[in-house]
Copies of this chain bind each other. A is one copy, B any other.
Amino acid sequence: MREPEIDLRKSPGAARKRRAGGRSARAARRQAGNLATAPAVITRRIPVYALLDEDALQRLEDHADWILREIGIEFRGDDEALRLFKDAGASVSGARVRFDTGLARALCATAPKSFRMEGRDPASSLTLGGEHVVFMPAYGPPFVTDLERGRRYATIEDFRNFVKLTYASPWLHHSGGTVCEPVDLPVNKRHLDMVYAHLRYSTKPFMGSVTAPERAEDSIAMARLVFGEGHLEQHCVIQGNINVNSPLVYDQVMSGALKAYARANQSVVVSPFILGGAMGPVTQPALLAQAHAEAMAGIALSQLVRRGAPVVYGNFLTTMNLKTGAPTFGTPEANLSTFAIAQLCRRLGLPLRCGGQLTASKVADGQAMQESATSMMAGILAGSNMVFHAAGWLEGGLTMGYEKFVMDLDHCGMMLRMLGGLAIDAEGLAAEAYREAGPGEAFLGTAHTLAHFETANYLSDLADTDSYEQWVENGRLDLERRAHRRWQQMLDQYEAPPLEPAIDEALKDFMARKNAAMPDQWH
């Protein structure tokens, strides 16, 4: 099936216009920030940025091969994985798996170059890979913060709020996974409520649990209740995010979850998680080769479990303050590595996850937005197909920020407009406007300006561009305080998408049975 395309060169405003119920409806939505759901598919119309030349890329690939051949990767506590690798020709010694030159790459070759991921509403379905770009919220924070209540442990209510905010935004295409960690629920049961929230409060594609193989199976089982028993055999509707236990290790939790998703023909994102200096050497070339080796090994396993299972080549590679050991984000070294890893991934021909609005800042201040904007732009120009942490991330991923979330959304909108590129055509060149307004004359009143003024530019939801005097009169609000109003408006105006009552009942039954069958575990 060919998906509908939105031509972003005509600006998001134009896309909204076609769906809109006239000017007042549009204005009302903009006011609330509660814009219509996202364009299903974003097609990249700008080139990728190629940092490294052929020779440098070849050296990185050779070094990845050397790591796989001489050092190897450990798959700990997973005999099935070791057997699969051995049968495929790898050398296995204890938990250590070593690959001859080219073997891991060859095993990755059966993964699709791009694949379709279905949402509960077909309008929310998307494509991962190729020229497509997908944004999703932050993943994993145990804390949340907002201007009124401050920083605190996240709850399932916060989790639902971020699923709702994600659903309400046109700039996020994917509902994410653990948008925050609902620590008010038992560790062994919270995955049920998380998956339910994604399925009930959103229609966008989402991620299930990976914290234990049986929780991955529960997540997939709940998706089957919604999409139909046999549907998952041929269609991808859920993903698992597999973080490698870098350096060079997959433990049985991660490989077990990976196998569960792959067996069900569902997608995994295989993400080496490397802070340079701790989980790898301190120099970027080594980290790039290591990340490439780790990703290939995990993707190879997915293909040994099920040839053709959809995967995303993931990456989370950043720097540390080497005097304190603290992770750092949006740094020049991390951005350079983002550019380079994208090139390595493209040479494998797989969908790429990299980039994100990343920061070490505790608050949504200048540091947060400088680091976030820089790391996001690096990922976009690098050619990322899937951006984790596109909204809300603070404090190195420990905290999900309500204000940061909507601040990031606005930047996501800008990045999507940038991906639409520039069409150099007669309409844009505006010869008539120059005939109408000559040297020294204002162009505001020309017919060309009047015809284009509503759609020419992305209109920020949050940026203040008023005069100083007007800004003072409006209360001297900085971006964070303007954002505080915005997410509250978005939640106030949120409307849940319909869900067939029988399906809702089936989900609740499943959860009740699972909950009853296990005692609560709190760690």
Contact = CB atoms under 8 A, between A and B. Distances in A.
Interface of A: 46-47, 49-52, 56, 59-60, 63, 66-67, 70-74, 76, 96, 151, 245, 247-249, 276-286, 289-290, 319-328, 330-333, 335-337, 340, 360-374, 377-378, 381, 395-396, 398-399, 407, 411, 414-415, 417-418, 420-425, 427-431, 433-435, 437-444, 446, 448-449, 452-454, 456-460, 462-468, 471, 476, 478-480, 483
A414 B373 contact: no
A365 B480 contact: yes
Nearest to A334: B457
A439 B74 CA distance: 7
B71 A366 contact: no
Contacts of A371: 463
Given A47-B50, A328-B463, A398 B468 contact: yes
Contacts of A422: 51-52, 56, 284-285, 336-337, 340
A425 B249 contact: no
Contacts of A433: 281, 286
Contacts of A438: 71, 247-248
Given A439-B72, A463-B360, A332 B367 contact: no
Contacts of A70: 434
23 contacts: A47-B50, A60-B424, A74-B440, A151-B468, A277-B444, A277-B449, A277-B456, A280-B443, A282-B448, A282-B453, A285-B430, A321-B465, A331-B414, A332-B415, A332-B420, A366-B369, A367-B463, A367-B478, A369-B373, A370-B407, A370-B479, A371-B463, A374-B374
Contact of A421 (B51, B289, B364, B372): B51
A282 B452 contact: yes
A328 B414 CA distance: 12
B63 A324 contact: no
Nearest to A481: B365
Contacts of A398: 468
Nearest to A46: B51
B367 A365 contact: no
A436 to B, nearest CB: 10
Contacts of A362: 464, 468, 471, 476
A359 B479 CA distance: 12
A479 B414 contact: no
A67 B368 contact: no
A520 to B, nearest CB: 28
A477 to B, nearest CB: 9
B285 A429 contact: yes
Nearest to A293: B434
A440 B249 contact: yes
Given A367-B369, A367-B464, A373-B377, 8 more contacts: A63-B429, A71-B439, A249-B440, A281-B452, A283-B427, A322-B456, A332-B420, A336-B421
B322 A283 contact: no
A443 B332 contact: no
Nearest to A419: B332
A290 B443 CA distance: 13
A366 B363 CA distance: 10
Given A276-B456, A377-B374, A464 B360 contact: yes
A420 B437 CA distance: 45
B373 A286 contact: no
B441 A247 contact: yes
A395 B456 CA distance: 23
A425 B285 contact: yes
A206 to B, nearest CB: 27
Nearest to A357: B370
A407 B448 CA distance: 40
A222 to B, nearest CB: 33
A331 B457 contact: yes
B443 A96 contact: no
B430 A281 contact: yes
A333 B67 contact: no
Contact of A333 (B276, B360, B456, B478): B456
B66 A96 contact: no
Q: A336, A362, A378, A398: which has the most chain B beta carbons within 10 Å?
A: A362
A438 B290 CA distance: 12
A417 B284 CA distance: 13
A414 B370 CA distance: 11
